[in-house]
Structure 1
Amino acid sequence: MSSADNTPERERLSEDLIFDVLKNRRRRYTLHYLKQQDRPVELSELAEQVAAWENNTTVEGLSANERKSVYTSLYQTHLPKLADAGIVDYNQNRGVVELSANAAQLEGYLRPQDEFPWIRYYLALAVVSAVLVIGDFLDVPPFSAIPNEIWGVLIVAAFAFSALAHYLRRRRLARQERPSNVES
């Protein structure tokens, strides 16, 4: 705890630690589910969902052995490792786990991949905007027929709309039900 404000201190996770934690699929599934729920989760609920993803089935379709295997490994190995790394808060006695503040450092490593080529899109939008501005500046018809203010509003609106679409798409991807590497 920080003595100044009584909030937990966020420790900087090393890249080696992050890669070590994330090299295991079961831990990645665990982090995905905890992020999705955004609340403390009971170990049994977590184990069922992770087992369902691992076995490509629903929670209802799991066998007792599949549940028990995942529950045991989460209880004995994976959750203590995540807790020792400071990524989750794990109360082993109560069987409750939730993401800690340090989990935010994993965001760039766990984010579902967006197949849309946003970099190329924004580059093309910038090139088109530059052509419009240069055409207007050089009084090339039809660019010179439209007032500068209109061009400015159109270009800003195009970037604003694009940024909003990008943001909403990322939010949708982040909230997807299954982790990105689980087959449908």
Structure 2
Amino acid sequence: MNVNTQTISTETVLHLVADPRRRTILHQLRENGGVIEIEALADVVAERTARSSPIEETDPPTARTDDQRLTRAELHHTHLPKLADAGVIEYDSRTGTVRYRSHDRVEALLGFVSRRLEE
């Protein structure tokens, strides 16, 4: 994993880690050695989101496919740009690869939230 030495404000770190989808993105990047393809990332984020929201047993498979498409769009247009703007990730839209740039402040807050608030 690349280590990021850029200074990130406390407010930015809080904003990044406050969103459950961005936390999932960061966890997945850490678990995959700092690199993941957006398709695999979108699948994991969509699955975790689906598990945290009530799903009817009668929901058709197309509803899940639509969720995955929506998740990919949200990653591409919202979550990945926010993380990239803060210098926490590098996103190559040409290859569809997301690379994590570890940052001490992000790691500390992500660890705290994971241990204390998501148990």
Distance 1:35 1:86 in 2: 15
Distance 1:39 1:101 in 2: 8
Aligned to 1:21: 16
Please provide the CA RMSD for this pair.
2.5
Which ranges of structure 1 fall in alignment gaps of 5 or more residues?
Answer: 1-6, 115-179
Aligned to 1:123: none
Distance 1:81 1:10 in 2: 18
Is 1:50 the counterpart of 2:51 in the alignment? no
Q: Which amino acid aligns with 1:86?
A: G
Between stretches 30-39 and 104-113, larger displacement belongs to 104-113
Is 1:12 the counterpart of 2:13 in the alignment? no
Aligned to 2:118: 181
Aligned to 1:113: 115
Which ranges of structure 2 fall in alignment gaps of 5 or more residues?
Answer: 53-60
Which protein is richer in strand relative to its size? 2
Question: Which structure: larger Rg?
Answer: 1
Task: Kindly state the Cα deviation for residue 98 of structure 1 after the two structures are TM-superposed.
Answer: 1.5
Q: Which amino acid aligns with 1:84?
A: D
Is 1:101 the counterpart of 2:102 in the alignment? yes
Q: TM-score scaled by structure 1? A: 0.52
* Pair 1:8–1:99, CA change in 2 (3 A): closer
Distance 1:38 1:99 in 2: 8
Report 1 or 2 for greater relative contact order, CA contacts < 8 Å, sequence distance ≥ 6.
Answer: 2
How many residues in Structure 1 have an aligned counterpart in Structure 2? Answer: 107
Task: Kindly state the Cα deviation for residue 8 of structure 1 after the two structures are TM-superposed.
Answer: 8.0
Percentage of pairs with the same residue: 26
Distance 1:48 1:17 in 2: 26
Task: Kindly state the Cα deviation for residue 101 of structure 1 after the two structures are TM-superposed.
Answer: 3.5
Q: TM-score scaled by structure 2? A: 0.78
Distance 1:12 1:30 in 2: 21
Secondary structure of the structure 2 residue equivalent to 1:94: coil
Secondary structure of the structure 2 residue equivalent to 1:55: helix
* Pair 1:79–1:22, CA change in 2 (3 A): same
Distance 2:84 2:74 in 1: 14
Task: Kindly state the Cα deviation for residue 64 of structure 1 after the two structures are TM-superposed.
Answer: 0.6
